[in-house]
Copies of this chain bind each other. A is one copy, B any other.
Amino acid sequence: MDPHLLRTYVTVARLASFSEAARELGYTQSAVSQHIAALEQDLGAPLLTRRPVTPTAAGERLLEHAAPLLLRLDAARADVVRMAAAPERGLTLATAPTALGPRVLAALPRAGVTLRVLARDEIPAAVATGTADLGLVDGIAAPNDPLRLPDVAPLTTHGVAEEPVCVLLPDTHPLAGRSALRLGDLAAARWLDAPDAGVPLARLRAANGGGAFRPALRYDGTDVRVLTALAAAGHGLTLLPRSAASGVPGAVAVPLTEPRVVHRTELVYRGAPRGAAARLAGRLVERERERERLRE
């Protein structure tokens, strides 16, 4: 189970071709053939059907393991080499755009923290590789359920906030007067496609158990104000945590009641945070504890 073999295997599976994979990896196709043969011999089972080149059942299973394994190998290497060239930075907090709710902002110390806003998917990687000491990710989830994070390193998560999810509608929208909405009613509408700033459309479909959720304009940045402005201007709908959706000029935030999902924010860190990172983590989590106490 040499990582080199795994890498060629996933490449072959992805491209469905030995020769294509060889080209991409800079090997001869003979070498690729030998790699696959070695893996199959090692594991004692065929992994690919030839002609067409398709993973077998065992091969599918291996793919599920191999991709994250390779990711983690890279992350580990990146982390250690970065440490080696450690330029002794301060405390860095990587955050998804909509994870910066009022509660989190209130808990931030007045100085000494570098804030870095990244796309949601990049945050676990940033924490894993040590680019950031702490991460804040958010997403919609069933209440009480952890978020699904890309799996790049052994990370610990801690819920820091949950708030209702709202649909941001322009004032002029026929449903703007409603006091609550169901996601299913909006499956046929046009949605802003902003995977890095808002909620990815695929996530909406998953939460709703299907539906079109046709993409309107696509926005690749991470600026929430751009997103709210686009929604207010009628370029499409978007889902946001209530705190981010309220108070947008020209738009109204209507809470989503079905399916029962919440906007959840989680703190992500590596192992046990130490020093300044531990203090900041403590403050973020303490906020959540207080809130729970008040809720009862």
Residues of A within 8 A of B (CB): 1-3, 43-45, 47, 57-58, 61-62, 64-66, 68-69, 72-73, 75-77, 79-81, 83-84, 86, 130, 142-146, 148, 151, 153-154, 156-159, 162, 260, 270-271, 288-289, 292-293
Contact = CB atoms under 8 A, between A and B. Distances in A.
Contacts of A72: 65, 68-69, 72
Contacts of A80: 43, 45, 47, 58, 61-62, 65
Given A2-B3, A3-B2, A260-B292, A44 B144 contact: no
A69 B153 CA distance: 9
A42 to B, nearest CB: 8
A69 B156 CA distance: 16
B69 A270 contact: no
Contacts of A43: 77, 80-81, 84
12 contacts: A1-B3, A2-B3, A43-B81, A58-B84, A61-B130, A64-B270, A68-B72, A68-B153, A145-B158, A146-B146, A146-B157, A260-B289
Chain multiplicity (copies): 2
Contact of A151 (B154, B288, B289, B292): B154
A59 to B, nearest CB: 8
A14 to B, nearest CB: 17
A145 B100 CA distance: 19
B79 A75 contact: no
Given A76-B1, A260-B292, A61 B83 contact: yes
Contact of A2 (B2, B69, B144, B288): B2
Contacts of A145: 157-159
